[in-house]
Amino acid sequence: MISPARRVAYDVLRAVHGSDAYANLLLPSRIREAGLSPADAGFATELTYGALRMQGYDDRVISLAAGRPIARIDPEVLDALRLGVRQLLGMRVPAHAAVDQSVSLVAAARKRSAMGFANGVLRAISRHTPEQWRARVVDGLAGDGLLAADTAHPEWIVTALRDALSAEEVEAELPELLEADNRPPRVALVALPGLAEPADVGEPGSVSPIAVASPGGDPAALPLVAAGRARVQDEGSQLAALALSRARDIAPGERWLDLCAGPGGKAALLAAEARIGGAVLEANELIPARAGLVRHALEVVDPAPVVHEGDGVAFARAHAEEFDRILLDAPCTGLGALRRRPEARWRKQPADLAGLTALQAELLDAAVVALKPGGILAYVTCSPHLAETRDQVAAALTRHPGLRTVDTPAVLARVATRDLGLPDAPSAQLWPHRHGTDAMFIQLLTTVDA
């Protein structure tokens, strides 16, 4: 018999690797469908996310134990081995249970001919301590290659994070950042202003004035979350939206735009803020399914903001100088959310950067067109990669002589509940290891006569 928690973890891994599913979206629904107890739900979550985060490391262990490349192992068998390795090396699970249950998963996947192979590989792994396996995994490596193997990050991501930290002259923090990427984040909630009070939802968060630390369990079971007045949202995302809405006093009648609004978390927060100040928010989203998510997120605001569907560049260019405040939460590599989206580190490739940075530049140019003179534009990415952050802003300032940076750290100093310790720079880069948030980049911009 396979335990329900392990079955859920296996099914999610197969969906992630076989159908490009997102674990953070799929796992909660699978847990509910399986009717797991809180203890089993916790086990399934730790096992699933652990196996996805540490995939590169565990695959190296499997390859060493099997004496063959993982590319020569059937995907269904490999995912069962990944779950077994994670239990053996990273969880307090008896070796016999980790091995037997993983071999049973191989059988249940109709790979009975591979049961002996899986059993042999896992028993070989179980005969050595985690420390002994670490020594074998990093043997002969140095520099970023060693850090990459040891912390289960692709080497190109380690190098990109090193460069971003070096830009703030804190390169020595790299090991701490990589370690933070591998720690499960505590779920943060946001109490939408004017619709919920943080004290009515739970205990205060750590940096956002409207954040609430999740009490544990399924957040959807909380009454205010079920009503849409509070929602799951990282505190870094909250600060990104609040930097725009609270950069200056709101003049009644202002028009705001969330240019790339899906799935709607920041849009809901901006809509709540706009409603209090007498402004009006509009949202735009290219993908119809995501536009539907935005509409659902905005239903709680009365009247609900208009959600447009279509290309953001075309929309912004068609509305020249119409908006007082614009949020451009640009499509990016997502390297700032690796702790919450564990599979992302293995899906992204350096080649993805060229297309993303070109799109970011195009959207930024269009957003500048749509901004009223003297208005405020928030350029935001959930990535600290310099090509998507500082370099992107510097290039935009060159292309637009009338574009100016706004002292974003000063704005956040007024908004945040504690000193963020941001360096003296026009932009703000948040970090998991420093702030307990996703690594959000925030740059406020404004326009003047050229």
Q: Is 37 helix (H, G, I), strand (E, B) or coil?
A: coil
Q: Is 334 helix (H, G, I), strand (E, B) or coil?
A: coil
Neighbours of 100 (CB within 10 A): 15
3-state secondary structure 48-59: HHHHHHCHHHHH
Contact between 163 and 386 under an 8 Å Cβ cutoff? The reply is yes
Q: In whole angstroms, what is the distance from residue 434 CA to residue 432 CA?
A: 6
Measuring CA to CA, which residue among 274, 433, 425, 446 is closest to residue 339?
Answer: 433
Token pair 């020594």 is at which residue?
Answer: 135
Decide if 332 is catalytic: no
Structure tokens at 13: 């891994």
Q: Provide DSSP, 377-415.
A: EEEEES---GGGTHHHHHHHHHH-TTEEE--HHHHHHHH
- Annotated catalytic residue, options 137, 382, 415, 430: 382
Contact between 85 and 182 under an 8 Å Cβ cutoff? The reply is no
Q: Is 441 helix (H, G, I), strand (E, B) or coil?
A: strand
Neighbours of 175 (CB within 10 A): 13
Residue type, 318: A
Contact between 326 and 259 under an 8 Å Cβ cutoff? The reply is yes
Exposure pattern of 391-410 as b/e (b: 16+ CB <10 Å)? Answer: ebbebbeeebeebebbebbe
Q: Is 419 helix (H, G, I), strand (E, B) or coil?
A: coil
Rg over CA atoms, the chain: 23
Structure tokens at 112: 């009975």
Catalytic residue list: 382
